[in-house]
């Protein structure tokens, strides 16, 4: 389980370092890329952050990338 104090900025960095694009995260979460982008404008709550981190890790593993 990830640290619940992770910030949206750290989510952005994790996605970048893992080679995962926002549209891929949005597709994994079942939302539009625009909705995902807008959701990062304000801090996500702990549950949503955990779902985003899990999506990044899942996509990175699927792509054979590093989950950093």
Question: How would you classify residue 53: left for phi > 0, otherwise alpha for psi between -120 and 50, otherwise beta?
Answer: alpha
Residue 1's pLDDT band, with cuts at 50, 70 and 90, is: very low
pLDDT at 58: 97
Which secondary-structure segment (H or E) carries 16? helix 8-18
pLDDT at 6: 82
Q: What is the pLDDT of residues 23-63, one digit of tens each?
A: 999 999 999 999 999 999 999 999 999 999 999 999 999 99
Neighbours of 12 (CB within 10 A): 12
Name 20's Cβ contacts closer than 8 Å, sequence gap at least 6. Answer: 56, 59, 60, 63, 65
């Amino acid at each position: 389980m990830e640290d619940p104090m992770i910030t949206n900025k750290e989510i952005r960095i994790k996605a970048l370092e893992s080679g995962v694009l926002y549209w891929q995260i949005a597709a994994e979460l079942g939302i539009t890329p625009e909705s995902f982008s807008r959701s990062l404008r304000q801090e996500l709550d702990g549950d949503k952050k955990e779902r985003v981190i899990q999506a990044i890790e899942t996509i990175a593993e699927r792509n054979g990338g590093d989950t950093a």
